[in-house]
Amino acid sequence: MPGAKLRTERSLTDEWGVAPQTIRQAIALLKNEGLVIGKPGSGVFVRTAPPLIRLGAERFSRAKRAAGKAAQQSEAEAAGRTFRQEVLGLGEVEAPGFVARHFGVESGTPVFRRYRREYVDEQITHVSASYYMPEVVEGTAITQTCTGPGGSYARLEENGHRLTRFHQEFTARMPTPEEIRLLQLPSGTPVMDVLRIAYGEGGPLEVYTAVVNASMIIFTEDFDAPE
């Protein structure tokens, strides 16, 4: 049962008639698969399944922005879940190489970055960074802690930058120690790297990256069959 505490190693050893090392290996395997969580001083517990939120392409629609909903917020609230965002960093930074390539500038060129952590039902879903050329966001609420109704994409379009298409890439892997800390991940939980480019008529407007708790978010797509 989710949240239940596993019996002690001695109890399991006595019941199954195996060596303690066998029990320890079995529990280690369960931890690596993300099925149980060890809590120092308390024991090992069956992992409580986190809430899942499904993110589809429709979250980028103008209708959602017109209703005052940012992308993930609209999906979370549609699922009856709470959503909040915590800004971890806001300001100009030197463009990392991959960001510079997408914007067509030299590595190290100043870009504006919004760095944040997002929560659904008070559980961290991901940490993300959005990069913009400074002239694109100058004078907009994108440079402020709160971007206002509809989020950053609404502010871009209000500023005359009409969004025309998006490109996304997804890569699964195991997290680094720093990512485990930032996302507060249980042992054995994989993450997904997300790269998204938001384009306007004149080229890329935003380069977005995220490290996602892969157990909390399902990315969905619906599309017509190509000819």
Q: What percent of the chain has pLDDT over 90?
A: 52
| Residues 13 and 76 placed together within one structural domain of the fold | no
Residue 2 lies in a domain: no
Q: Which residues contact 178 (CB under 8 A, 6 or more apart)?
A: none
What's the start-to-end Cα distance of the chain, in Å?
48
Residue 227 lies in a domain: no
Report how many domains make up the chain: 2
Helix and strand numbers (H, E) in the chain are 8, 10
| Residues 114 and 211 placed together within one structural domain of the fold | yes
Residue 215 lies in a domain: yes
| Residues 22 and 75 placed together within one structural domain of the fold | no
| Residues 41 and 131 placed together within one structural domain of the fold | no
Residue 225 lies in a domain: no
**Predicted pLDDT of residue 225:** 83
**Mean pLDDT score, 195-220:** 93
Q: Measured between alpha carbons, how far is 62 from 69 in angstroms, rounded to an integer?
A: 10
Residue 199 lies in a domain: yes
**Predicted pLDDT of residue 34:** 67
| Residues 57 and 145 placed together within one structural domain of the fold | yes
pLDDT at 4 over 80: yes
Q: Which has the closest alpha carbon to 192: 208, 206, 174, 177?
A: 174
* Higher per-residue confidence, 42 vs 133: 133
**Mean pLDDT score, 201-218:** 93
| Residues 61 and 36 placed together within one structural domain of the fold | no
**pLDDT tens string 90-139:** 999 999 999 999 999 999 999 999 999 999 888 899 999 999 999 999 99
| Residues 159 and 176 placed together within one structural domain of the fold | yes
Residue 224 lies in a domain: no
Residue 97 lies in a domain: yes
Would you place residue 213 in the very low, low, confident or very high pLDDT band (cuts 50, 70, 90)? very high
| Residues 24 and 100 placed together within one structural domain of the fold | no
Q: Measured between alpha carbons, how far is 131 from 120 in angstroms, rounded to an integer?
A: 23
**Predicted pLDDT of residue 209:** 98
CA angle 22–23–24, rounded 5-degree value: 90
pLDDT at 7 over 70: yes
Q: Which of 23-32, 45-54, 192-201 has the lowest mean pLDDT?
A: 45-54
| Residues 22 and 85 placed together within one structural domain of the fold | no
Roughly what angle, to the nearest 10 degrees, separates helices 71-78 and 151-158? Answer: 140
Q: Measured between alpha carbons, how far is 15 from 64 in angstroms, rounded to an integer?
A: 56
**Predicted pLDDT of residue 37:** 74
| Residues 32 and 124 placed together within one structural domain of the fold | no
Q: Measured between alpha carbons, how far is 33 from 77 in angstroms, rounded to an integer?
A: 30
Q: Which has the closest alpha carbon to 197: 206, 187, 209?
A: 206
Nearest-10 Cα torsion for 136, 138, 141, 143: 100
**Predicted pLDDT of residue 179:** 95
**Predicted pLDDT of residue 187:** 72
| Residues 190 and 153 placed together within one structural domain of the fold | yes
Residue 3 lies in a domain: no
CATH code, 88:
3.40.1410.10
> Domain limits at 193?
53-219
| Residues 126 and 26 placed together within one structural domain of the fold | no
* Higher per-residue confidence, 61 vs 150: 150
Q: Which has the closest alpha carbon to 102: 209, 217, 207?
A: 207
Q: Measured between alpha carbons, how far is 214 from 191 in angstroms, rounded to an integer?
A: 5
Tell me the backbone φ, ψ of residue 159, rounded to 5 degrees.
-90, 10
**Predicted pLDDT of residue 180:** 93
**Predicted pLDDT of residue 57:** 76
**Predicted pLDDT of residue 222:** 81
pLDDT at 183 over 80: yes
